[in-house]
Amino acid sequence: MTGHVVMRSRAELRRTEAVNATRKDIQALRALAVGLVVLNHLWPARLSGGYVGVDVFFVISGYLISKHLLGELERSNRINLAQFYARRIKRLLPAATLVASVSLLAAWAMLPFSRWLAIAQDTIGAVLYVENWVLAAKSVDYSAHSEAASTVQHYWSLSVEEQFYLVWPLLILGLSVAAIRLRLRRRALLALGVTLVSAAALAFCIWVTYTNRSPAYFVTPARAWEFGAGALIAIGGPHAMAALRVRLPSHHVALSGSAQWLGYGLIAYSAFCFNEQTFFPGFVAVVPVAGTVLVIASGPTGPLWSPNRIVAARPVQFLGDVSYSLYLWHWPLIVLAPALVGHSLLTQDKLAILVGAIALSYVSKKLVEDPGRTRLLREANPVRVFAAMAVTAGLVCALSGGLLLSFGKAQAAEAAKLESLIGEPCHGARSLDQRNGCSDPFGPAKVANVGPNEAPWFSAPECHPSADPVVYEDLQVLVECDFTGGAQPEANVWLIGDSHAEQWKAGLYELARLHKWKLKESLLGGCPFVDVKRVAVAGAPATDPHGQQRCLGWSAQVSDRIVKEKPDMVFASSFGAGETIHDGTGRPQIDQYKDAVTKRFGDWTAAGSRIFVFRDPPLTLHHTSPDCVALNPQQPVNCANAREEALVQDPVAEAAKGMGKPNVKVLDLSDQFCDGQRCYAVIGGLQVYFDNDHAARSYIRSLVPVLSQRFNEARQ
């Protein structure tokens, strides 16, 4: 009797799910997921963990796709892979292509050309569905950390999904074939296989999050287990729910309602309690994933007090219906809006973006998304669908190529203009010299941000990788430069530090040419040169063991080489205000840096080297940045920061001063960035900063006369 009831319950459940193809609880989860993502992007401080909405989407996708594939298997004992892929293309491609293309054209028209390069590259990555790998590669390139957001970088999650859709049917089909050949129950082998794959993916996710956190967020293998969690509901959920109804006939409804509330609670907890400092995805991603699993697995029904009765409300369902288009549209609007309104986004601007994104989502769903799924290439065979996809992607890539060409031309034109201005008496930092009689040193920029040409990371013709490099694992971090012009070198010099040391290269290279130095440079972004663990960068945790050991290993090797080679001079700088170190004492950073820097410099001076520390420039506070200048072209003084806020204490420079040694000097050029009240974004017609963290190459080069004077005074 019991077996008969179980079989009937399973059949009823399958019929119910077949009739209820669009489950209202799943639509509500979609609404919640997209709402969390959008609100997090608009108000990140208020919903710091809203990024977990993406994880909710991944679980939903794993469930729905696996349910579809299982249904096809059980009906026909096969999976038509060509039809499956063709349906995915028609479902996702039209709206995604439209938004990517419109966003590209809008960026071309509205944003400064310095941003076109990254937008074109990301758009190509987006339409080829590899954007997650593009961002993963950028995340491990320290020079890209401060890059402004592109209009399509949110396509990374779509890329992960498409890669899942490419592989998952093959896994399901392979396990099904194995079950037939081994004469095993299909669902049992599927459950075992998916569990093993998901467990391995989760283990990898935890490992890579704690060893290489930045790319871990984007790479597909670290997210595969989330799709697998959804797939396991599709594989075992119907059986589990049927068994629950039989064994607890009077309690299963209440248990479903409780599971639903708990699931939503776990998602809400993640959204409000996680933040940028949370090691995510890692094991903590289990929280929102488990919450989503509970909501889906407990089914669409529930008691009167079930949240499913609340989330069935029409506004929630509407948001779920347009969730895909809303996800696509909201981000480019956020990126483009400041250029449209002419200032950083205010609350009313963000509310307008929210309303506009919802309106665009409704229109594109009705006119693009739904017709694309139901009418586009309706009678076409899969080959024609694949061809249409290839042509569409090719057209968008060609459009991106046009933007790349335009970027190259604009960059060359601005670079030529910049060169023509170099000799003027009021150019750059020279405008601060009162003897030059410059009327408005802080007036409009004469040259637009020249993009990568202004980046501090560059090389010179006199430089080449060292034949005897500093090596740590796969890193070779030593460059040798010969600025003697064939003459006898007047001095052997080193430059060491992070990217904040690298930003001084444009000035130091000119000094090296002037004084005929041989120069060695060893620079590693995000790494202090002291023998103490770095635990945070710019407020974000940096406690992964691999990253810490990389910094410590590099700094130890560099120090040993300096002691061994005994260069005449060592130039050093580091983002001490933003790189938090931990020596185990819990003392203030200024004290920890004092001891660590004194120890390091003591070793170098004992070897006979003189040390010159570049005091770090003022912080931009995300205000004296190229983006602000682009929004205030005629009044860049609006982008200035208060001196006391921007010119924070530099613990490395303070430690050097505190040593009180004649062979350890600080080169402080703060007065070339700030006057008595403010620190500026434009000086002498030049933009002072390349991005939110580093000074522009041209401005540093304009400092050479002052730098040379200060250096000569310091080495007396």
Question: Per-residue pLDDT averaged across 175-184, rounded?
Answer: 90
Please determine, for residue 21, whether its predicted confidence score (pLDDT) is greater than 60.
no
Least confident of 77-91, 210-224, 243-257, 622-636: 243-257
pLDDT on residue 8: 40
Please determine, for residue 705, whether its predicted confidence score (pLDDT) is greater than 50.
yes
pLDDT on residue 164: 95
Torsion sign across C-alpha atoms 132, 137, 140, 143: negative
Please determine, for residue 15, whether its predicted confidence score (pLDDT) is greater than 60.
no
Do 654 and 597 contact (CB within 8 A), yes or no? no
Do 455 and 505 contact (CB within 8 A), yes or no? no
Task: State phi, psi for 336 to the nearest 5 degrees.
Answer: -85, -25
pLDDT on residue 16: 44
Question: Per-residue pLDDT averaged across 441-445, rounded?
Answer: 95
pLDDT on residue 438: 94
Please determine, for residue 7, whether its predicted confidence score (pLDDT) is greater than 50.
no
Do 233 and 190 contact (CB within 8 A), yes or no? no
Task: State phi, psi for 216 to the nearest 5 degrees.
Answer: -55, -30
One-letter amino acid for residue 533 of the chain: K
**Residue 250 — pLDDT band, cuts 50, 70, 90?**
low
Please determine, for residue 184, whether its predicted confidence score (pLDDT) is greater than 50.
yes
Do 118 and 105 contact (CB within 8 A), yes or no? no
Question: Per-residue pLDDT averaged across 521-537, rounded?
Answer: 93
Question: Per-residue pLDDT averaged across 413-421, rounded?
Answer: 91
3-state secondary structure 144-192: HCCCCCCCCHHHHHHHHHHHHHHHHHHHHHHHHHHHHHHCCCHHHHHHH
Question: Per-residue pLDDT averaged across 626-639, rounded?
Answer: 92
Please determine, for residue 373, whether its predicted confidence score (pLDDT) is greater than 90.
no
One-letter amino acid for residue 581 of the chain: I
Query: 302: helix, coil or strand?
Result: coil
Give the Cβ contact number of residue 606 at 10 Å. Answer: 10
Tens digits of residue pLDDT in 556-599: 999 999 999 999 999 999 999 999 999 999 999 999 999 999 99
**Residue 242 — pLDDT band, cuts 50, 70, 90?**
low
Question: Per-residue pLDDT averaged across 486-504, rounded?
Answer: 95
Measuring CA to CA, which residue among 258, 93, 66 is closest to residue 164?
A: 66
Please determine, for residue 246, whether its predicted confidence score (pLDDT) is greater than 60.
yes
Tens digits of residue pLDDT in 383-410: 999 999 999 999 999 999 999 999 999 9
Question: Per-residue pLDDT averaged across 621-631, rounded?
Answer: 90
* No. of helices (H) and no. of strands (E), the chain: 27, 16
Q: Could you tell me the pTM of the whole model? A: 0.87
